[in-house]
Structure 1
Amino acid sequence: MSANSSIFKQGENCWVTSTASYATPLIDCANYYKALHASIVKAKHSIFIVGWDIDSRIRLLRGDEEEQSEAPSVISDLLAWKAEQNPELKIYLLRWDSSLAFFAQRELWAKEVWDEKTPDNVETVLDDTIPMGGSQHQKIVVIDDEVVFSGGMDVSTNRWDTRDHPVESEERNGPEGEYAPLHDVQMVAAGPVVKDFAELVRWRWLRVAETQPIAIREDAKNALDSPLPEAWPQMFDPWFEKIDCALARTIPFMDEVEPVQEVRHILLDLINEAENVIFIENQFTSRQEIAEALNRRMKACPSLHIIVVSSYEPKGKFECEAFWASRIDFKKILEKDVDPSRIIMTYSSIEDQKGRKAYKRIHSKVMSIDDKYLVIGSSNLSNRSMTLDTEIDTVFFGNTPENSRQIARVRDDLLAEHTGRELDAVSELMKSENPAKALMEGQIAHGYVLTEIHDEVFTDQSGINFFRSLSDPEEPLMPAISAFGNATPLRNPRRRTIMIGIGVIALAIFAGLLILATNSISWLSTENINAFLEKSRGTYFALPTVLLVYLVGGFVFFPVTVMSLAVAAIFGPVWGPIYGIMGALLSSACMFGLGILAGNAGLKKLGGPKIEAVDEKFRNSGIVGVAAIRMLPIAPFSLVNLVAGVSSIGLLPFLVGTFLGMFPPMIAKGLVGDSITQIFRNPSPETIGYLVGGIVLWGLMIWGSQKFAKYYQKRKEKQKAEGEECAVS
């Protein structure tokens, strides 16, 4: 094969062959997010974002850049700002639907959140077409059909980091707190290849969204000789110009779609082209077929060296036994009957002068073959990336001497980051007789260094078959269903189905506990509570007894009205309401605290926009809103307490509102309860009149609270509108 021709075979080891007029790597997330922000700000026609995740909370800019930017930094605010500025701009967000396994990190109600935060020209769909066990793993952004971003990075949590990867960073803060240094690689390109990406994202969109085909812009400037497009992030100069490339996909078996394993085929073909150095930077190395191909090529080509950089420690049991245990086998296969000095499988870590340690998490998916080929994509060297997930890799070919030099530069630049060296120093080391060995020698103390992996410290591989079958499968977890001669793959359960299922289970458990409590606690009845309270009347234990009844009654959702009437009937129209309100406040505070714990444990996330709407009402209405809710019998007493704890309202305003809302009706209930007692003891027109009067007073208070709440809400909205008008003027 000619040195000027590539191994690309369209329809065999790649989807399409193309050319990038301009391309450059974006190393680590701070650079990618900065570039993405700049391109979004310049967008005029369309924005497509396809991802494993698209999190509305992510800040694209940090520090001075964030403070000085006229455009919002948070991705949802930025897209809403662009969409409102230009109603003709169309924004399409396609995110993987299934996310139960990533509950702690991902927005469960992503579509509802995006729909609420953005105007109508921003459309969001969740991709639920992936077969059971697979994921939507492509990470693509196409802007104006002129600029494309693709690689290993999503707009997601626990991704942002700078190239120096400090041991500690306040900006590396995710849902579970500060996370370790994280490394990733994306590429940005312009030219003819953008049209291919534009076709791909539209194909994915039409598979999920109920819409008409979306035409690619005919006037898009993506010809080979076009200048840098306007949406190009100007702070990043192109490293490559007019470079040949190919796009390789993994597409699993889906409805009416034949599976595609172009990524698998192109990687095997690339390995067979290697002569000097294969550099691999990947999150996972578990695919034995790749290890076997590398081993064969090393035996066939004695001058070949292999450098692998991955992560140090696994996250959780599944990752440990599925991927780290598999990495042990990968390494054994790779090194079999080969001089071990020609191979290094490593991780990058640092111990600074203060003795603080950090292990860099590798999330990138990069491979270089000498200075001839460079892969930047979304595919891990795993079983699922070769067969089950949706993937897209861009393979660049060094078709000119300058582009070949730039491929080597990308490799050397990444190794310089991992070893704490200067770029020129790494370039010299890579020219040595044994570059793998040279890299490991003479590394600088207190900077990042490469260390050989020894995964046996994490796992003895005892559970590899079980965990691998769930976390790194080659086939869907459930077989396809055959009907009328056609096989239909079972999909991952939809997010909405999962959430409804969780809700039904939670309600069933709660109802079962209430039934169990009612049947198991013999005194949990109106008659026994009355008898229990009656025994305490006239003793020092009267108030503690009432407090205990309200406290226990609150936890088992016993009706507060029944308790209030019982207390009033036993302790009279004066002390009854006083004792009752004290018990109600104690029960409210305890259930409020339980709500705080539930919210922190994930109830806020589980409830999504619905909980946020209730939270907003509590926050806006404050004490008066709580008082109105207390006067109106619209929700169980204990449920209101729990929801308030989940919301953002403070405990003191909540208790003040509870007092103002419950004490006046409790006085009315006191008259009713005491009147009922008097009727039983001494029926007369007077006692019956007290009963009727109490009921009428109770009803009037409910009616009055409704009127007052509506009046207060209208007044507050009017004041808010006037304030906004003043701000505008």
Structure 2
Amino acid sequence: MSLPTHKQQQESLGTGFTPLREDANYWKQANSGRGAFIVDGESYFRAFREAVIQAEKYICLLAWDFKGEIELLRDESPKDEYPTKLVDLIYALLEQKPELEIYILLWDYSMVYLTEREWLPFTRFRQDPHPRLHLVTDSEINVGASHHQKVVMVDGGFAFCGGLDLSTWRWDTQAHQPEDPLRVTPDGEQYQPYHDIHTAVTGPAAHALDELCRQRWQRATKEEAPWPNPSSENTVWPESIQPNFENANAVFALTYSEYKEYPAVNQIEELHLDMIAAAERYIYIENQYLSSHTITDALIERLGEEDGPEIIIILTQDTGGWLEEGTLGLLRCRLLEKLVEADTHSRFGAYFPHVSDEAGNESQVYVHAKTMICDDRAVMVGSANLSNRSMKVDSEVMMTLGLDETAEAAPELLRRLLGIHLGHSQDKVDQSLASTNSINQTIRDLRKGSHHQLRNLEIGCAGPVRRKLADTQLLDPDDPIDLGYWLRKATRSDDSNQSSHNWKRYAIIAASIAAVFLLGLGLKEAWGSVIDKESVETFFQSLNQSPWKLPLLFGIFFLAGMTGISINVLLVSATLVISPWAAFTCGFGGSLLSAVAALYVGRMAGYPVLEKLFHDRLDRLSKKIQDRGVLSVALLRLVPIAPFVVVNLVAGISKMKLRTFVAGSCLGMLPGMLGVVFVTHQAKSAYSDPSWQTWLYLGLGIVALLGLTFGVKKFIK
């Protein structure tokens, strides 16, 4: 389908692009007042500084990351007396504006990001506290999820919202030079070119974002937001930003995973799907990640249509470090592979930005944007990646224009972005689009001979195992990695009809045991037939011959017991790969030592740690441990009503004696671990030497384990 002409854009004014369903695909809609799309960090950092200098009453920030040492202006002197470093600017504003209050709500980040984040206890914010600076770390979200919304509110009438953090590695110019001496961290380290998109709004749309800030503040602090209600008047606007739209209908959509009394919200995913389904001419996407099977399936369906839209996806060539490359990067490769396979009408293109200079320097541009533009009429910008996390797990916010009436800013932003990526003016891009009626063809034409290019992404998964793994959701789960969340989800039932659900619970237990066995056998069989069998056998032989085999295996079980990784899965794998006795001795010893270590962690950390992780069953669990001593611990080891590490932590909180705890753990762990190892060994024997004796022993072992599980669980109840 061709791109719309200017006349077609005008004729489409007033027609709905996709139906709006409150609470289903959007949270709030409001008039935008003045608004703008801000492209890249240099523009946003300058605009942020200009906006907060105009603040008189309050500033509120929702942040995924926040770095006080960053320079907001690079290689230029400000026209005012305020500092250019973020932390100094904040304190200068507080000193010179006696009525100003500043509220910062910062995600209480995962330990995964420990080396990348500013350690708050050592910052000026903590060492030099100001009575009108309120910095709160927000942990009110599931373990494994993050607060990913990026919002700045100024005096209730002006707001920023989008994908940019006030942090390291974000600042860059739209030129994206491969070597830019100004593009450095506060420590002077250079980093690669960086591309992102943010928004600015006023009026009722800003008031909606103020309400979001209030909700988040109350959720984090359990107190009402202390700042005043927004007024209808607003005088704040950054002088360096040219408005792109005015009085547009801004639609806000959210993502939250279920947490405590807060329900799950999947509006962003629903709105993406609705917009993808509604597009007629093109779908243009810029995003940091592509790992959502649901979004990809929707795009594949559109590619299968004979007269469907053109689809263009701009991503980063390399997704990041080894962890991201091995998880989200692998998923992206597989999903792109599926999109190419579905592209029977040659309407799909996947690209990454690449820049070079006259000196021969070159670099990819890291894409951090989260943007989708459809049909020159609807545009979505915000914080959500095209990942399962952003669609289901993290907290996110997206703003969309053009869902009721055409957003005239949408075609302007498309041409602006293509101009930046291809090194041409917006007029040149517009001329090419008019002549080719294709974004993909425009990209292919305008990148020739340019120092700024959109290059084709290499697509394909190396090897069938990587492909099969990417077809699952293990690498990007759509549920929080939260032990309490998973147990609540698995055991949630209506108490008034609890007996009717017992069979489901028993079926879950039986299926889980079967899955563990099948997983172990599958690893053994699949590795030998799908990967290079000879290399796998060589690896196992070298591991068995290593003098560090047992200490290493012991350490693996210890870490598993401390982090909540399934010990039974490790037992099955170790039994199949090494030997039953090595699996049992290392598994029992490592798990017991981790239990003791967690016991002391519980004693030191106390109740708040467990309340965050396992709040709705903590009292019941603690009571069971205190009431029955050795017997209660033994029974909980056999059939836990909480994960292994949680039982250990609660035992520490309950001040249980070490002697009682160790005795109960040994009594409970011995039969369970022996049973798992025995049944696994017999399953392996039945598989390799199928005789009636081996199958009989396997059956008896499974029956014994199931009987022990059901009997102990009934006794506990």
- TM-score, structure 1 as length reference: 0.62
Q: Secondary structure at the match of 1:300?
A: coil
Rate the CA distance shift 1:370–1:279 in 2: closer, same or farther, 3 A: same
The 1:390/1:342 distance shift into structure 2, 3 A limit, reads: same
Please point out which of 435, 439, 462 is paired with 2:439.
Answer: 435
1:448 is displaced (CA, Å) by: 0.8
In 2: Cα distance, 1:430 partner to 1:461 partner: 41
Partner of 2:659: none
Supply the distance in 1 between the matched residues of 2:118 and 2:35 (Cα, whole angstroms). 32
CA distance in 2, matches of 1:352, 1:461: 40
Equivalent position amino acid for 1:190 in 2: T
Conserved in 1, the CA contact under 8 Å of 2:331 and 2:475?
no
Corresponding residue to 1:181 among 189, 193, 200: 193
Structure 2 CA distance for partners of 1:286 and 1:249, relative to 1, 3 Å: same
Distance 1:321 1:354, change over 3 A: same
- Does the residue aligned with 1:381 lie in a helix, a strand or coil? coil
Select the residue among 30, 45, 49 that pairs with 1:37.
49
Report what 2:116 is aligned to: 105
Instruction: Quickly say closer, same or farther: Cα 1:216–1:348, change in 2 above 3 A.
Output: same
- After the TM superposition, which residues 532-571 of structure 1 pair with which residues of structure 2 at under 5 Å, given as runs? none
Aligned residue in 2 for 1:316: 321
Give the alignment partner of residue 413 of structure 1, picking from 416, 420, 425: 416
291-300 vs 140-149, greater mean Cα deviation: 291-300
SS in 1 for 2:47: helix
* 2-structure distance, mates of 1:467, 1:429: 38
Residue 96 of structure 1 pairs with residue 101 of structure 2: no
**Residues 388/242 of structure 1: CA separation in 2 closer, same or farther (3 Å cut):** same
Amino acid of the residue matched to residue 439 of structure 1?
I
Residue 17 in structure 1 maps to residue 20 in structure 2: no
Query: Does the residue aligned with 1:319 lie in a helix, a strand or coil?
Result: helix
Which residue in 2 is equivalent to 1:206? 218
Preserved contact between residue 322 and residue 468 of structure 1 (Cα < 8 Å): no
1:110 positional shift: 5.8
Q: How far did residue 446 of structure 1 move?
A: 4.6
Partners of 1:176 and 1:344 lie apart in 2 by: 37
Q: Which moved more, 1:315-324 or 1:207-216?
A: 207-216
Offset, 1:468: 8.3
Calculate percent identity across the aligned residue pairs. 26
Counterpart for residue 176 of structure 2? 165
* CA gap 1:470/1:122 in 2 versus in 1, 3 angstroms: farther
Matched ranges for 1:223-262 at <5 A: 229-262=234-267
Question: 1:480 maps to which residue?
Answer: 484
Any idea what the Cα deviations from partners look like across 1:207-259, whole Å, max 9, x if unmatched?
A: 112544435525342xxxxxxx3221022121101111210000111121001
Counterpart residue number, 1:132: 143
Q: Secondary structure at the match of 2:466?
A: coil
Cα distance in 2 for partners of 1:107, 1:79 equals 16
**Could you say which residue in structure 2 is the equivalent of 1:381?**
386
Supply the distance in 1 between the matched residues of 2:340 and 2:459 (Cα, whole angstroms).
15
- Note the C-alpha offset of 1:2: 8.8
How far the C-alpha of 1:160 sits from its partner, in A, is: 0.4
Q: 1:364 to 1:483 in 2, by over 3 A?
A: closer
1:282 equivalent in alignment to 2:287: yes
Q: Is the 8 A contact 2:14 2:405 kept in 1?
A: no
C-alpha deviation, 1:161, in angstroms:
0.3
2:146 counterpart letter in structure 1: S
1:146 maps onto 2:149 in alignment? no
What residue in structure 1 maps to residue 689 of structure 2?
none
1:371 is aligned to 376
Instruction: Give the direction of change, closer, same or farther, for the CA distance of 1:459–1:47 in structure 2 (3 Å limit).
Output: farther
* Offset, 1:286: 1.0
Q: Taking structure 1 as reference, are residues 428 and 213 closer, same or farther at Cα in structure 2, changes over 3 Å only?
A: same
* Cα deviation code 1:12-66 (max 9, x no counterpart): 1001121201111010000001000001100001101001011111111112244
CA distance in 2, matches of 1:167, 1:436: 24
Aligned-partner Cα distance in 2 for 1:395–1:286:
22
Give, in whole Å, the separation in 2 of the partners of 1:460 and 1:164.
40
Give the distance between the partners of 1:446 and 1:456, measured in 2 at CA: 27
Kindly provide the amino acid, as one letter, of the partner of residue 414 in structure 2.
R
**SS of residue in 1 equivalent to 2:90:** helix
Aligned match of 2:611: none
Q: Which residue of 2 aligns with 1:523?
A: none
Tell me, what secondary structure is at the counterpart of 2:442? helix
Indicate conservation of the 8 Å contact 1:321/1:459, yes or no.
Answer: no
1:64/1:442 CA distance change after superposition, 3 Å? closer
AA aligned to 1:182 is: Y
SS in 2 for 1:160: coil
Mapped contact 2:269–2:391 kept (Cα < 8 A): yes
Encode CA deviations 1:320-363: one digit per residue, 9 max, x unaligned.
12122111222122233433631110001023222211110000
Q: Cα deviations across residues 581-633 of structure 1 (Å, max 9, x unaligned)? A: xxxxxxxxxxxxxxxxxxxxxxxxxxxxxxxxxxxxxxxxxxxxxxxxxxxxx
The code of the aligned residue for 2:142 comes to: P
Note if contact 2:250-2:401 (Cα within 8 Å) is conserved in structure 1.
yes
**Which amino acid letter does the alignment assign opposite residue 263 of structure 2?**
E
Please say if residues 13 and 405 of structure 2, whose CA atoms lie closer than 8 Å, have aligned partners that are also in contact.
Answer: no
Report if aligned partners of 2:61, 2:151 keep a CA contact under 8 Å in 1.
yes
Residue 451 in 1 paired to residue 455 in 2? yes
SS at match of 2:33: strand
Q: Structure 2: how far apart are the matches of 1:339 and 1:134?
A: 38
Distance 1:355 1:152 in 2: 31
Separation of aligned partners in 1, 2:463 and 2:145: 25
Query: Contact 1:325 / 1:461 at 8 angstroms: preserved in 2?
Result: no
**Structure 1 CA distance for aligned equivalents of residues 465 and 179 of structure 2:** 32
For residue 378 of structure 2, what is the amino acid of its counterpart? Y
TM-score, length of structure 2 as denominator length: 0.63
Alignment of 1:197 onto 2:209:
yes
Q: Which structure 1 segments of 5+ residues have no match? A: 222-228, 488-504, 506-729
Question: What displacement does 1:461 show?
Answer: 6.3
Match of 1:602 in 2: none
What is the aligned partner in structure 1 of residue 59 from structure 2? 47
The answer to whether the 8 A contact 2:461-2:467 is kept is: no
Q: What SS is found at the alignment partner of 2:327?
A: helix
Cα distance in 2 for partners of 1:286, 1:137 equals: 17
Q: Secondary structure at the match of 2:278?
A: coil
Distance verdict in 2 for CA 1:110–1:294, change over 3 Å: farther
1:422 paired to 2:433:
no
Distance in 2, matches of 1:124 and 1:90, equals 11
Residues 578-593 of structure 1: matches in 2 within 5 Å? none
The answer to whether the 8 A contact 1:341-1:437 is kept is no
Pairing of 1:380-399 with structure 2 (within 5 A): 380-397=385-402
SS in 1 for 2:352: strand
Deviation at 1:460, TM superposition (A): 7.8
Shift of 1:442: 4.3
Distance 1:309 1:337, change over 3 A: closer
What is the aligned counterpart of 1:156 among 158, 164, 167? 167
Aligned to 2:285, the other structure's residue is in SS state: strand
Distance 1:238 1:110, change over 3 A: farther
**Partner Cα separation in structure 1 for residue 396 and residue 57 of structure 2:** 26
- Give the whole-Å Cα distance in 2 for the aligned partners of 1:9 and 1:255: 25
User: Which residue of 1 is the match for residue 358 of structure 2?
Assistant: 353
Query: 1: distance between equivalents of 2:398 and 2:372?
Result: 10
Question: Distance in 2 between the 1:111 and 1:203 partners?
Answer: 29
Query: 1:429 Cα deviation (Å)?
Result: 2.5
1:122-178 deviation per Cα after TM superposition (whole angstroms, max 9, x unaligned): 100111112121111000001000111010000111110000011111222125821
Is 1:27 aligned to 2:39, yes or no?
Answer: yes
Q: Distance in 2 between matches of 1:464 and 1:318?
A: 18
The answer for unaligned runs of 5 or more in structure 2 is: 1-11, 494-558, 560-717
SS of 2:241's equivalent in the other structure is coil
User: Is contact 1:419-1:443 (8 Å) kept?
Assistant: yes
Displacement, 1:470? Answer: 7.2
User: 1:320–1:458: 8 Å Cα contact kept in structure 2?
Assistant: no
Residues 454-481 of structure 1 show CA distances to partners (whole Å, capped at 9, x for unaligned) of: 1548898639849986762211223326
Cα pair distance change 1:459/1:189, threshold 3 Å: farther
Higher radius of gyration, 1 or 2: 1
